[in-house]
């Protein structure tokens, strides 16, 4: 049996009526504020836990690895999670291989679940892949001899704030690393790959004993609120460095626990930057600086004197201006100087004889000032 479906842009209005979930502003802000060089520095390590029943019987194992890699030329993270065991003599397990970008965007994920019942084994595979404009979701469900295949595509704009099962494992480590100030609502898939809210809440701190060692652990609860099924919650506890110590699905008799205290993740010690006090520069007391100042002063004085010798009209021009200034004694010396020297600019167009022809002006026109013409001809 093969089924195909597609969520297109034209169906957005219909989907909004069906209340397609959206992440809240805090969760989007959290993703936007990620600094890969800093935030992901200490989240790449392995977790190894054992699966136990409510009676303490060991049923299997649970492992998570996070490592840097490249996906189609893009730097990202490879997340690999495995859970295998046997419940009541029935082998079962889950395997996740996921490529996640540095902004927690899922690039590709393979999710495999199986329950090897004697008469009717169940095998469920889900493939999620991001393309340029859409996400493609392929599912293959095998139950006994019955095989169902479904395919659907979801526009990328509807997947903003989406956290897959693989990126969820990395997000938990980040929430412990960076802290969690408020509840965050992302979106995720339920068991039938329907988009639904995924709410993350901080749990109270507690102690957990591992190998006679008491650890202070920090908890996060993740709840998937499916629109077609009851909500499902997982509670996970971590050491301060991000190592997973306990994970349980609320209502399940099976718990994943840390059996051996892992080596503590060593962090780079940042050497404090030296602080240098600002000292006043008293160059007059420095013989070398004072000598350089005097040499430069004499150099400039000689340069200025040479320039004035080569341009004798400068002395006459300044003398005329000072004489005119002292005669007028204007309140605004700067404006007076601007108007005075503007008269000598060749860039100013000739005024029309019909405009303010009788307006009095105290300034000489450059083309009628015999003194200026005489200076220019020197």
Per-residue confidence (pLDDT) for residue 269, from 0 to 100: 73
274: in domain: no
Note whether 316 and 207 are same-domain residues: no
Structural tokens at position 317: 């021009």
Note whether 17 and 78 are same-domain residues: yes
Note whether 200 and 333 are same-domain residues: no
Provide CB contacts within 8 A for 82, sequence distance 6+: 61, 62, 63, 93, 94, 95, 96
Give the separation between CA 231 and CA 254, rounded to whole angstroms: 18
273: in domain: no
pLDDT tens digits in sequence order for the chain, 378 residues long: 445 554 444 444 454 445 689 999 999 999 999 999 999 999 999 999 999 999 989 999 999 999 999 999 999 999 999 999 998 889 999 999 999 999 999 999 999 999 999 888 999 999 999 998 999 999 999 998 899 999 999 999 999 999 999 999 999 999 999 999 899 999 999 999 999 999 999 999 999 999 999 999 999 999 999 988 899 999 999 999 999 999 999 999 999 999 999 998 888 776 677 777 777 777 777 888 888 888 999 999 999 889 988 888 888 888 888 888 898 898 898 988 888 888 777 666 655 555 555 555 555 555 555 555 555 555
304: in domain: yes
Choose among 291, 302, 171: nearest CA to 234: 171
Picking from 257, 272, 307, the residue at the C-terminal end of a domain is 257
Note whether 248 and 291 are same-domain residues: no
144: in domain: yes
316: in domain: yes
Separation in Å, CA 284 to CA 278, 292, 294, 298, 299:
18, 11, 11, 16, 19
Note whether 188 and 335 are same-domain residues: no
Note whether 149 and 14 are same-domain residues: yes
Per-residue confidence (pLDDT) for residue 8, from 0 to 100: 47
Note whether 245 and 303 are same-domain residues: no
Note whether 198 and 340 are same-domain residues: no
Picking from 237, 257, 277, the residue at the C-terminal end of a domain is 257
User: With contact defined as beta carbons under 8 Å apart, do 128 and 136 qualify?
Assistant: yes
Picking from 241, 257, 273, the residue at the C-terminal end of a domain is 257
282: in domain: no
Choose among 124, 204, 137: nearest CA to 164: 137
For residue 303, how many other CB atoms are within 10 A of its CB?
A: 10
At 223, give phi and psi (nearest 5°). -120, 125
Note whether 179 and 327 are same-domain residues: no
Domain count, the chain: 2
Strand intervals (E) in 72-212: 74-87, 90-100, 106-115, 122-130, 134-143, 146-155, 184-189, 195-210
Note whether 72 and 8 are same-domain residues: yes
364: in domain: yes
Give the separation between CA 81 and CA 46, rounded to whole angstroms: 10
276: in domain: no
Note whether 235 and 317 are same-domain residues: no
Tell me if residue 8 falls in helix, strand or coil: coil
Domain membership of residue 316 as a residue range: 287-352+360-376
Note whether 201 and 318 are same-domain residues: no
């Amino acid at each position: 049996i093969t089924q195909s479906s597609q969520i297109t842009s034209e169906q957005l209005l219909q989907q909004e009526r069906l209340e397609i979930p959206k992440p809240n502003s805090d969760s989007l802000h959290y993703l936007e504020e990620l600094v890969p060089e800093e935030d992901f520095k200490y989240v790449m390590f392995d977790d190894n836990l054992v699966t136990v029943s409510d009676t303490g019987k060991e049923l299997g194992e649970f492992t998570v690895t996070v490592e840097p890699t490249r996906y189609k030329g893009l730097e990202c993270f490879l997340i690999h999670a495995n859970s295998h065991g046997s419940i009541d003599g029935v082998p079962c397990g889950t395997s996740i291989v996921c490529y996640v970008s540095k902004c927690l965007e899922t690039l590709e994920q393979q999710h495999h679940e199986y329950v090897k019942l004697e008469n009717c084994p169940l095998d469920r595979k889900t493939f999620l892949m991001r393309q340029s404009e859409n996400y493609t979701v392929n599912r293959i469900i095998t139950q006994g001899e019955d095989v169902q295949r479904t395919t659907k595509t979801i526009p990328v704009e509807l997947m903003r704030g989406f956290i897959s099962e693989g990126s969820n494992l990395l997000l938990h480590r980040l929430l412990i690393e960076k802290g969690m100030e408020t509840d965050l609502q992302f979106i995720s898939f339920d068991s039938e790959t329907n988009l639904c809210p995924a709410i993350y809440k901080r749990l109270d701190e507690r102690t957990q004993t591992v190998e006679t060692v008491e650890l202070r652990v920090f908890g996060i609860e993740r709840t998937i609120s499916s629109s077609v099924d009851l909500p499902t919650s997982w509670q996970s506890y971590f050491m301060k460095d991000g190592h997973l110590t306990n994970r349980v699905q609320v209502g399940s008799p099976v718990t994943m626990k840390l059996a051996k205290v892992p080596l503590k993740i060593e962090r780079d010690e940042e050497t404090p930057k030296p602080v240098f006090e600002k000292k006043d520069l008293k160059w007059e007391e420095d013989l070398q600086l004072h000598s350089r100042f005097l040499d430069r002063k004499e150099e400039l004085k000689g340069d200025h004197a040479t320039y004035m010798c080569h341009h004798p009209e400068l002395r006459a021009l300044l003398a005329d201006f000072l004489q005119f200034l002292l005669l007028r004694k204007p309140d605004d010396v700067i404006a007076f100087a601007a108007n005075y020297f503007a008269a000598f600019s060749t860039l100013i167009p000739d005024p029309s004889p019909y405009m303010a022809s009788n307006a009095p002006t105290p300034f000489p026109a450059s083309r009628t000032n015999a003194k200026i013409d005489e200076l220019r001809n020197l």
